[in-house]
Amino acid sequence: MSLKLIFEIHSTYVNERTGKSAKGRDYKLREQEAWVQIGDAPYPQKTKIMLDEGQAPYAVGKYQLHDRSFSIGQYDSLQCSPVLVPLVESVQKAG
């Protein structure tokens, strides 16, 4: 059994926040709102997708996670930082 995650982007608006860390370093966060349908849940949940500096916002549409979304982090733990790719919903019918 596999878990199906479908992300839906409704707006290309990017929220940018800047500030100084506790160590005095400047930072800038860029995030885009998305809605994610998790498996057979009855309703999608709001989430935020972090964007890299200079990365264009995702276009309005449906997406799925790219394999690059997953990595092994500190202490060998699984980490997920969503990288989205357009959802392919085309179903080919046998002739």
> pLDDT, tens digit, for every residue of 60-89?
999 999 999 999 998 999 999 899 999 876
Please tell me the predicted confidence (pLDDT) of residue 40: 85
Q: What superfamily would CATH give domain 5-86?
A: Nucleic acid-binding proteins (2.40.50.140)
Domain range summary for the chain, segments of one domain joined by + = 5-86
What is the residue whose two structure tokens read 């019918």? Answer: 93
DSSP 22: T
By C-alpha distance, which of 29, 6, 13, 28 is closest to 84?
Answer: 6
pLDDT of residue 34 exceeding 90, the answer is yes
Cα maximum dimension of the chain = 64
pTM: 0.79
